[in-house]
Amino acid sequence: MLRSDQILATVEMIQKENLDVRTVTMGISLLDCRGGDVEQTCKKIHSRIIDYAGNFVATCDTISKKYGIPVVNKRIAVTPIAFVGAGFFREDFVRIAQTLDQAAKDVGVDILGGFSAQVEKGMTNTDLEFIASIPEALARTERVCSSINIGSTQKGINMDALAMMGKTIKDLAEITADQGGFAAAKFVVFCNQPGDNPFMAGAIHGLEEADAVLNVGVSGPGVIARALERLIEKHPEPGTLRLDELAEEIKQTTFRVTRCGELIGRAVSKSLGIEFGVVDLSLAPTPTVGDSVGEIFKILGVDAIGAPGTTAILAMLNDAVKKGGIFASKTVGGLSGAFIPVMEDAMLAEAVGDGSLCLEKLEAMTCVCSVGLDMIAIPGSVDADTISAIIADEMALGLINAKTTAARLIPVPGKEVGDSVSFGGLFGASPIMPIRNIGKSSRFIAWGGRMPAPIHSFKN
Amino acid sequence: MRKEMIISVMSKDRPGIISDITGAIYRLGGDVADLNQTVLRGYLTMILSASFEPEVTKEDLLAAISHIKTSCKFEVSIKELSPSQLEEEAGPPEETYILTVQGPNKSGIVHGISLFCFTHNINIFDLATTLRDGQYTMALQLDLKHCISSLAKLQQELEEYSQQSGLTIMMQHNDIFQVTNEIALH
């Protein structure tokens, strides 16, 4: 048997620090579900999802009970729908979104991702029809999430698609104005989108994947925060604890957290007879008190989130999480880094409210972590071109640094700086983030065309 | 077929005990398989299994050990395993759980917990307890294969026991502790 102190360290992590597996996401290929017309296609999609995921939620719950570790979210990701529905029109895609929504409901999952297209180099007619369907599709469904990949380090950025993104986001917000523009919270724009990310709203089942696969997202900012606090408490004398020791603590804690995710994921995968994919090593906060990434900044030494030093702390945090997790897991993938979704993290949202955290600082922070400008509520009056230009800056970071970046912005209709918005549950709440230099980027967005791939992408 | 024996030895601890005991076994042509030993407050206890040619008896082994020159006499007990015992499945089954119990020291903690296990037909594979700064900690490895309660009911009963006794009690699957503490991923 193990030593008592090792046993107690694990018990502490589970009992006091609310260790959980944040998400188990089943990826399902729908590539062969295209029928002669949209009705046939919808029928095939529905039965495919029921076939694979019928026992998914019950199995996750059984395994979770056996091990005594909660699996917070059970989700489904599907093949990007623009590929599945090649040749269909706008209204057909809305119909497919409704089918996906119904299938998700029937198998008991709260969110399904993959109402998506990949247009980093060019757009087909289908892609154009698909993009046009997004506002209505998300407004008429409850559980469907959408994402568009508009750039990659290999191909550059599709600036025509980029220009459409600002408008799509505005439409999404306005069509759900009575819910604070909530549909925009279910839509994310990517550069270098991974095909095996289990986290929403950006989960898809990539074209490179097998028929079905299970990916696991571990999280645990709360576990990391408590471990750091304990270590700091043990060293009350100044100068007795250095930053590298704090990094080591994060690394070791992540190792344990990741191992639990891997154990649960593989058990679910074995039980369902579906291949295990990857563990995504991300620190993903929730609005729950004590489950904040923002809190870790304060523990590590800045008195306000966004103060100088915040980016450096995030860089270290992100790196230590990867180092601990990569050794713990057989296969790592997805986004794997710290998330800073403002609305979903109570302390980040508070920092926006008191003015210590601004958009530009968040942009800098996304250079050193995954995934991007995430869940940021902005004034409803910000124009589509300014939104596209904010996204362009974020995409450029991903393009040049060969990493995933994303933007999920919510222009809350009728709200301005000083107001706040709440979506409730996991989507959280936040004051409206001020945006500077509104309406000054339209000439740039109007160029269209492509931003070429960077020189370091030419490696052949 | 070789004969399997289980040998238990207790003695005041000193260098050379394992060498003495395994030497006696070796001279009888025995082959040591599993061995576990621990030292508590200066006393050593050891349990080991060894196989011998069929003609070697436990009396021969007892005699060989008693001839060892030692300042503190060995207390020895030997059992021969029957063929049916040898066929029993070895290794921990799927239903191995770790129970941890923590609380201020008082009489009867170990008895209370072990009685709880017994009344639920739970076998204790392994048990370690420590007393530090008035806090008593127990870590038990349990076999729930024949437990009379379902896992959910057992967790609930442990919760009730925890409230009555004022002890902090947690039970988690053995695999959790393995994966979070061992390098290899099984």
pLDDT tens string B123-147: 999 898 888 888 899 999 999 988 8
Q: Mean pLDDT across chain A, nearest whole number?
A: 94
pLDDT digits (tens, 9 = 90+) for A369-428: 878 999 999 999 999 999 999 999 999 999 999 999 999 999 999 999 999 999 998 899
Q: What CA–CA distance (Å, rounded) separates A320 from A328?
A: 13
Report phi then psi at A341, rounded to 5.
-75, 110
How far apart are the CA of B152 and the nearest CA of chain A, in angstroms? Answer: 8
Share above pLDDT 70 across residues of chain B, in percent, rounded to a whole number? 94
Distance between B140 CA and the closest CA of chain A, angstroms:
9
Q: What is the pLDDT of residues A19-76, one digit of tens each?
A: 889 999 999 999 999 999 999 999 999 999 999 999 999 999 999 988 988 899 999 9
Judge whether residue A160 has pLDDT over 90: yes
The mean pLDDT value for A230-256 works out to 93
So what's the pLDDT on residue B85? Answer: 66
Q: Which of A262, A275, A126 is nearest to A211 (CA)?
A: A275
The ipTM (two decimal places) reads 0.78
For the cut 60, the answer to whether the pLDDT of residue B90 exceeds it is no
Q: Return the percentage of chain A with pLDDT > 70, whole number.
A: 99
**pLDDT at residue A11, rounded to an integer:** 82
Contact assignment for A262 to B126 by CB distance below 8 Å: no
Residue-level pLDDT at A460: 84
What is the residue-wise DSSP string for A94-133? HHHHHHHHHHHHHHT-S-EEEEEEE-SS---HHHHHHHHH
Burial class (CB in 10 A: 0-12, 13-18, 19+), B18: middle
Q: What is B3-87's CATH superfamily? A: ACT domain (3.30.70.260)
pLDDT, position A386: 98
Say yes or no to pLDDT of A299 above 70: yes
Amino acid A350 reads: E
* Residue A420 host element (H or E): strand A420-422
Q: Where are the domains of chain A?
A: 19-340
CB contact under 8 A, B176 and A15: no
Domain ranges of chain B: 3-87, 96-181
Question: Using alpha carbons only, how large is chain A's radius of gyration in Å?
Answer: 21
Q: Is the dihedral of CA A356, A357, A358, A363 positive or negative?
A: positive
Q: Do A8 and B137 touch (CB under 8 A)?
A: yes
B3-87 and B96-181 share one CATH topology? yes
Is the pLDDT at B84 greater than 80? The verdict is no
| b/e map A108-121, b = 16+ CB within 10 Å | ebbbbbbbbbbbbb
The predicted-structure confidence for A208-224, as pLDDT tens digits, reads as follows 999 999 999 987 898 89
pLDDT of residue B158: 94
β-bridge mates for residue B123, sequence order: B143
Residue B87 main-chain phi, psi, to 5 deg: -80, -15
Class of the domain covering B96-181:
alpha beta
Task: Please report the pLDDT score of residue B91 as a whole number.
Answer: 46
Mean pLDDT along residues A108-137:
98
Residue B72: what pLDDT? 83
For residue range B162-180, list pLDDT tens digits in order. Answer: 999 999 999 999 999 999 8
What residues in chain B have their Cβ under 8 A from chain A's Cβ atoms? 98, 100, 102, 125-126, 128, 130, 137, 139, 141, 151-152, 155, 170-173, 175-181, 185
Which residues share a beta bridge with B13?
A: none
The domain defined by A19-340 folds into Anaerobic Ribonucleotide-triphosphate Reductase Large Chain (3.20.70)
Q: Which helix (H) or strand (E) holds A430?
A: strand A429-431
Cβ contact A263–B170 (<8 Å):
no
Chain A residues with CB under 8 Å of a chain B CB are 1-4, 6-11, 13-15, 65-69, 255-256, 259-260, 262-263, 328-330
Q: Are the C-beta atoms of A379 and A410 separated by less than 8 Å?
A: no
Q: Is the pLDDT of residue B97 over 70?
A: yes
Tell me which residue has tokens 């469907």.
Answer: A144
Predicted pLDDT at B88: 57
Q: What is the pLDDT of residue A1?
A: 61
Contacts of A453 (CB under 8 A, 6+ apart): A152, A153, A154, A155, A156, A399
What DSSP state is assigned to residue A182?
G
Name the pLDDT band for A96 (thresholds 50, 70, 90).
very high
